[in-house]
C-alpha cells in the first residue's frame, strides 16, 4: 500500500488555508468530473480528489494526517501504519467535531482507499449503525461486512424504447437479502442507453468496509412498431402496389417525432430507406431504417383479380427471370 499525500493530490502546500483547499478542490473536481472529462482515468482522479478533500477540510482528520507526514512519509512511499499507532480519534458514531465523525460526513456511498481506511478506520466508524445510519440498529449482514468490501448486486432493468431514447429517472427496487431490507432507488438513465448496456452505481450494493456496487443491465422492452438493430431503429411501413409504382410520400413515426419519407417511383417491396440521426442519441447517433412492404387487400373479388391479371399480361414482365436455371453445356 502506498502513502498518499493529500496535499499533492489537491495541489496545495502543507500550510494551505481552508479557503485555499476549498478553491483547489472545486477546480480539480470540475476538471476531472467523469461527466465532463475525456481523460481515461478521470473517475479514479475524481475519487482521489474527493478523498483528499474529506481529510483536509476537517481540522481533526487533517491533524491526524499531518502526524503521519511528520513521521517522514512522502507520497508514493510504501506505507504501513506505525507500530502502536493509536491516533488522536475517539471513534464514536455521531461525535463529529468532538474527536469522531458520523456517516453523513462521508456521503453514504463514498469509495475510500485502503490507505484512508488504515488511518481513519472506516470499518470502526460503521459500528453501531444500521441501514438507516442510526445507532443501535446494526444487522447481522452489516456486522459480517464491516471488515470486507460489500457484495455487488446485479439486476436487470427493463425499459421502454421511449425511455431508452429520452433517458431520465426510473425507480429500481433492490431486493432484500438476509440481514438487509429491500430498498428503492431513483436512478437516472442516460439518453440513448442500449440493450445490454451495464450501468454501475458505486456504493449502492451491500454495505461493508467499502460498500459494494449496484450493476444494472439494461433490457429493452418489445415495441409495437419499432425493432432495434444495435443503436439503429427499424420500422416496417406498409404501402400499396400503386404507391410503389407511382411513388409517394408517407409520414412515419420515429422515437423523436413524425417525419415525411419520400418513396421514389418504381421502388421495390423490401427496400430499406435511411433516416439519418433518428436512432438512439449516442455518439455517433444511430439512424432509423424504413422498410417498405407492399400489402394487398385480403377481400379482393374475382372481377378485381381478373382486371389485375389483364394489366399484368400487358406488362410482359417476369420478376423471377434472374432465378431461371441456365442450361449447362
**Averaged pLDDT score across all residues of the chain:** 80
Query: Does any domain span residue 329?
Result: no
Same domain, 13 and 114: yes
Query: Grid coordinates standing for 77?
Result: 512511499
Q: Directed axis angle between helix 42-56 and helix 18-32, to 10°?
A: 160
Residue 139 included in any domain? no
- For the residues 233-238, what does the mean pLDDT come to? 96
Tens-digit pLDDT profile for residues 138-159: 344 444 444 477 889 999 999 9
Q: What is the distance between the alpha carbons of residues 280 and 234, in angstroms, rounded to a whole number?
A: 11
Amino acid 4: pLDDT: 86
Q: 19: pLDDT confidence band, cut at 50, 70 and 90?
A: very high
Residue pair 126/146 in contact by the 8 Å Cβ criterion: yes
How far, in Å, CA of 74 to CA of 83, rounded? Answer: 18
Q: Are residues 209 and 174 in the same domain?
A: yes
Q: Are residues 17 and 110 in the same domain?
A: yes
The answer to whether residue 42 is domain-embedded is: yes
Q: What gap in Å lies between CA 52 and CA 268, rounded to an integer? A: 65
* Same domain, yes or no: 91 and 114: yes
Q: Three-class SS string for 155-185?
A: EEEEECHHHHHHCEEEEEEECCECCECCEEE
Domain containing residue 165 = 153-220
Domain final residue, candidates 185, 202, 220:
220
pLDDT in tens, 126-142: 433 333 333 333 344 44
Does the N-terminal peptide bond of residue 16 adopt cis geometry, omega within 30 degrees of 0?
A: no
The CATH number for 73's domain is 1.10.287.110
> How many domains does the chain fold into?
3
Q: Residue 141 — left, alpha, or beta (φ > 0 → left; ψ -120 to 50 → alpha)?
A: alpha
The stretch 75-102 carries a mean pLDDT of 48
The CB density around residue 18, as the number of other CB atoms within 10 Å, is: 12
Look at residue 110 and tell me whether its pLDDT is greater than 70: no
pTM recorded for the entire structure: 0.52
Ranking 37-51, 117-131, 274-288 by mean pLDDT, the lowest is 117-131
Question: The domain that contains 283 carries what CATH number?
Answer: 2.60.260.20
**Domain check: are 106 and 28 in the same one?**
yes
Q: Which residues of 78-102 are buried (b: 16+ CB within 10 A; e: fewer)?
A: ebeeeeeeebebebbbbeeeeebbb
Residues 12 and 65 in one domain: yes
* pLDDT number for residue 64: 83
One domain for residues 204 and 238: no
pLDDT digit string, tens, across residues 281-293: 999 999 999 999 9
| Same-domain check for residues 210 and 159 | yes
Indicate whether 296 and 206 sit together in one domain.
no
For the segment 190-235, what is each residue's pLDDT rounded down to a tens digit? 999 999 999 999 888 888 778 889 999 999 999 999 999 999 999 9
Amino acid at each position: 500500500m502506498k502513502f498518499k499525500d493529500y496535499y499533492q493530490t489537491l495541489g496545495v502546500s502543507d500550510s494551505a488555508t481552508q479557503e485555499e483547499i476549498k478553491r483547489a478542490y472545486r477546480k480539480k473536481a470540475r476538471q476531472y468530473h467523469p461527466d465532463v472529462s475525456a481523460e481515461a482515468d478521470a473517475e479514479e482522479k475524481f475519487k482521489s480528489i474527493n478523498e483528499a478533500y474529506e481529510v483536509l477540510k476537517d481540522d481533526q482528520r487533517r491533524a491526524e494526517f499531518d502526524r503521519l507526514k511528520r513521521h517522514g512519509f512522502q507520497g508514493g512511499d510504501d506505507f504501513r501504519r506505525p507500530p502502536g499507532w493509536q491516533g488522536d480519534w475517539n471513534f464514536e458514531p455521531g461525535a463529529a467535531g468532538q474527536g469522531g465523525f458520523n456517516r453523513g460526513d462521508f456521503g453514504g456511498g463514498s469509495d475510500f482507499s485502503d490507505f484512508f481506511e488504515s488511518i481513519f478506520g472506516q470499518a470502526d466508524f460503521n459500528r453501531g449503525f444500521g441501514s438507516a445510519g442510526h445507532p443501535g440498529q446494526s444487522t447481522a449482514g452489516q456486522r459480517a461486512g464491516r471488515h470486507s468490501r460489500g457484495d455487488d448486486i446485479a439486476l436487470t432493468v427493463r425499459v421502454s424504447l421511449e425511455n431508452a431514447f429520452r433517458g431520465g429517472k426510473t425507480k429500481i427496487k433492490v431486493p432484500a437479502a438476509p440481514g438487509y431490507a429491500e430498498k428503492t432507488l431513483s436512478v437516472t438513465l442516460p439518453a440513448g442507453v442500449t440493450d445490454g448496456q451495464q450501468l454501475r452505481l458505486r456504493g449502492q450494493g451491500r454495505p461493508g468496509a467499502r460498500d459494494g456496487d449496484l450493476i444494472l443491465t439494461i433490457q429493452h422492452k418489445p415495441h409495437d412498431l419499432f425493432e432495434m438493430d444495435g443503436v439503429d431503429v427499424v420500422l416496417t411501413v406498409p404501402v400499396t402496389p400503386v404507391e410503389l409504382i407511382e411513388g409517394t410520400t408517407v409520414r412515419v413515426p420515429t422515437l423523436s417525432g413524425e417525419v415525411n419519407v419520400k418513396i421514389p417511383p418504381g421502388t421495390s417491396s423490401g427496400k430499406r430507406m435511411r433516416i439519418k440521426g433518428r436512432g438512439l442519441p449516442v455518439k455517433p447517433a444511430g439512424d432509423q431504417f424504413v422498410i417498405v412492404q407492399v400489402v394487398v387487400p385480403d377481400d379482393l373479388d374475382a372481377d378485381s383479380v381478373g382486371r389485375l391479371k389483364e394489366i399484368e399480361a400487358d406488362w410482359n414482365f417476369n420478376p423471377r427471370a434472374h432465378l431461371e436455371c441456365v442450361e449447362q453445356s
